[in-house]
């Protein structure tokens, strides 16, 4: 296990007009560990996730990935850094509807200019461990919510990211499917040695994670 956090946010602030979405957040993410972010609607969870992942820039504060500052990179470099080092799972999966499950998982590798053979071989490896081995040729419209999230997990992990970010990954799933989906998400990230940041409203999902942080009005507090 590494002796330094893979991702460090320090003094992060973000405003939207009069709204203070983040108000001085310090946060650390460790390889092979999961961190749950909980808090009421509008408390700043998604904003924090987007700042950590380099999707938006903070107004002040810093984000370091493996010792390298990433918040001040220009848009082009931040986009490249995101594709290379981060994976994402969202509430609805955001799979590309026209592509098969296998093509969806291979897509991040193809965007990194990996050869087609290579990308598909790499993508195919994830279907068995995620329990979706027979679904490679289905399109997202032909998958259940839980199956679609497994495909989304495969797509998030296929590039070998340092950190996987998940924003309400189980919000559209029933209790049993939530449990199984979280189990798989934790397993694959831990096994790959990636950090996992999960935004969730669900106390049962948060309780599964190695660490919990609650956020309220853009500030980190202790979990309720
Ligand atoms: N692009 C934006 N423009 C203006 N205000 C925004 C924007 N994004 C977020 N906000 C505001 O910032 C605050 C934090 O929003 P954020 O989306 O981070 O909350 P959240 O904790 O993820 O909420 P939820 O649980 O509902 O998803 C809210 O007051 C929100 O209205
Ligand atoms: Mg949100």
- At residue 91 the predicted structure's pLDDT band, cuts being 50, 70 and 90, is confident
- Summarize pLDDT for 158-211 with one digit per residue, the tens: 999 999 999 999 988 899 999 999 999 999 999 999 999 999 999 999 999 999
Other Cβ atoms less than 10 A from the Cβ of 180: the count is: 16
According to the CATH classification, is domain 7-221 in 3.10.180.10? no
Answer for the pair 47, 221: CB distance below 8 angstroms, yes or no. no
User: What residue ranges line ligand 1, CB within 6 angstroms?
Assistant: 16, 19, 21, 39, 41-47
Which residue is it, tokens 């108000």? 23
- Summarize pLDDT for 45-54 with one digit per residue, the tens: 999 999 999 9
pLDDT of residue 107: 96
Domain ranges for the chain: 7-221
Residue nearest to atom 29 of ligand 1 (CA): 42
pTM, 2 dp: 0.94
- At residue 94 the predicted structure's pLDDT band, cuts being 50, 70 and 90, is confident
- Cα dist. 45→48, 93, 138, 143 in Å? 5, 18, 33, 28
């Amino acid at each position: 296990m590494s002796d330094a956090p893979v991702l460090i946010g320090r003094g992060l602030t973000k405003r939207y007009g009069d709204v203070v979405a983040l108000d001085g957040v310090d946060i650390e993410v460790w390889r092979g560990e999961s961190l749950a972010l909980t808090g009421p609607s509008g408390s700043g969870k998604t904003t924090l996730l987007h700042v950590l992942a380099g999707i938006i820039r903070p107004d002040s504060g810093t984000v370091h990935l493996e010792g390298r500052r990433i918040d001040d990179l220009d848009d082009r470099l931040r986009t490249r850094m995101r594709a290379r080092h981060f994976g994402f799972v969202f509430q609805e999966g955001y799979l590309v509807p026209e592509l098969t499950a296998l093509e969806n998982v291979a897509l991040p590798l193809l965007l990194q200019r990996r050869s087609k053979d290579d990308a598909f071989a790499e993508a195919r490896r994830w279907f068995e461990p995620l329990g979706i081995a027979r679904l490679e040729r289905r399109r997202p419209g032909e998958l259940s919510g839980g199956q679609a999230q497994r495909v989304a997990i495969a797509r998030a992990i296929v590039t070998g990211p340092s950190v996987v970010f998940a924003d309400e990954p189980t919000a559209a799933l029933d209790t049993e499917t939530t449990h199984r989906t979280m189990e798989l998400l934790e397993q694959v990230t831990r096994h790959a040695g990636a950090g996992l940041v999960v935004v969730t409203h669900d106390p049962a999902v948060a309780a599964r994670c190695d660490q919990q942080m609650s956020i309220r009005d853009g500030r980190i507090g202790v979990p309720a």
